[in-house]
Amino acid sequence: MARLHGADPLKKHVALVGFMGAGKTTAARAVGLPIVDSDELVEEAAGKPIADIFRDDGETVFRDHEEEAIVLALGGGAVTSARVREALRDTVTVWLDVDVDTCWERVRGSDRPLAQDEAEFRRLYEERRALYAEVADVVAHDVHDVVLAAAGVHVERGALQKLGDLVPGDGPVALVSDPHVAGIHGMDAQLALGSRLAETHELPPGEEAKTLAAVDRLWQDLRLDRRGTIVALGGGCTTDAAGYAASAYLRGIAWAPVPTSLVAQVDAAIGGKTGIDLPQGKNLVGAFHWPARTIVDPALLATLPDPQRLEGMSEVVKTGLLAGEPLWELPDDELVRRCAAFKAAVCLRDPRDEGERAILNLGHTFAHALEAAAGYEGVTHGRAVALGLLAALRLSGRDIGQVEEILRPTPVRVDRERAWNAMQRDKKAVGGELRLVLLGDDGPRWNVPVPAGDVRRALDELIA
């Protein structure tokens, strides 16, 4: 396995290697980064289809073309070239490792020159595996794994025990957590970090962590130099605040969240948004600071209290609705992997929240209005989101049965006028319309104009 690197994953190239039929092109498209299929480039350069190059010029000539063409979505045989292997050192190389039967099923009967004889295909598959293993930084088994690798997200049961190896680089680590999580998982994290652990810090529990006073305290206590990494072990409050601290400390150092709550594993620790609150509102100060790696261990959820789990389930259901799949039905490890991958894909395509990323706010305009109307007391974000999802589904003309069954949201007791005013402030009604995220027939849409009267009715239904 090649060495793991430490820099911002967004600034690196992703090279996808794997055998014919593994699905490299499909996976590369899902990541949404500029994709170059080396096969296409080769065809373009040679001015003829690959089958013809093989027939007329032979495999050696094809490989020469391919070497020139290497960027993303490498052709299955590219790693046989030493020059290509050298070039891959500056990229995150992801091996899309798919079993030989699946690969063969996908390519048999095609005109690919190396996919004509099954026995030869299988022999070549075995031969190549060692090469892929040698160049790969990360092994992926499907498109979701590829997205996670491109985003620098590592999901693995038991990852906490391997923290020392998983935190990129080899510099010192400052471990930051909240007192509660530190008491449960802090010792395991410290042991796993071993000699890399230079200092430990605690942020106050809950939203208290997301204050300038708490972050200022952390800044003053930190001793790391620029080679150092902040590891944030905890829920979304810890990862938001510690990530923000990392974004500005010494003008920005690397950080690696180790999310421990469901909210943080499927949402807060993915996508590079960090921040703190102001008295005027939540998340008003912050930075985009993509983690060097996000290390997700679903086993940590075992100690999470039920109410906190329910908080996360609202975001899981939101993600499933956006993805068009009942992700909430999956067992924990897969549920976390799929939800994290969905958010990672959206954020990779829109890292600075200028477009598509808005879909992640499904139900949230209503939720924020309800939370504001309650003065942020007595109604949790998760419950408000669950209600907001009902409103978004109704306005999308969708059935609300499933969401009601899983999240069982009950209407909140807040002042209707206050909620409506908050909603309009949040979304500045233009020409009697508000702009919302809704679910269309072919997926989520954002900035959909909805008549104010319809929005108001939908909001009223959420209030007891």
Ligand X SMILES: NC(=O)c1ccc[n+]([C@@H]2O[C@H](COP(=O)([O-])OP(=O)(O)OC[C@H]3O[C@@H](n4cnc5c(N)ncnc54)[C@H](O)[C@@H]3O)[C@@H](O)[C@H]2O)c1
Q: Which residues of the chain form contacts with ligand X (CB under 6 A)? A: 178, 180-181, 184, 205-207, 210, 234-238, 240, 260-261, 263-264, 267-268, 271, 273, 282-283, 300, 303-304, 308, 311
How far is CA 189 from each of CA 46, 153, 199, 327, rounded to the nearest angstrom?
Answer: 53, 18, 12, 29
Closest distance of CB 334 from ligand X, Å = 18
Question: Closer CB to ligand X, residue 180 or residue 394?
Answer: 180
Closest distance of CB 134 from ligand X, Å = 36
Question: Closer CB to ligand X, residue 81 or residue 283?
Answer: 283
Closest distance of CB 352 from ligand X, Å = 13
Question: Closer CB to ligand X, residue 237 or residue 407?
Answer: 237
Question: Closer CB to ligand X, residue 73 or residue 300?
Answer: 300
Closest distance of CB 195 from ligand X, Å = 26
Closest distance of CB 78 from ligand X, Å = 36
Closest distance of CB 156 from ligand X, Å = 16
Closest distance of CB 157 from ligand X, Å = 14
Question: Closer CB to ligand X, residue 206 or residue 440?
Answer: 206
> Rg (Cα) of the chain, in Å, rounded?
24
End-to-end CA distance of the chain: 57
Question: Closer CB to ligand X, residue 107 or residue 181?
Answer: 181
Question: Closer CB to ligand X, residue 24 or residue 273?
Answer: 273
Question: Closer CB to ligand X, residue 17 or residue 313?
Answer: 313
Closest distance of CB 233 from ligand X, Å = 9
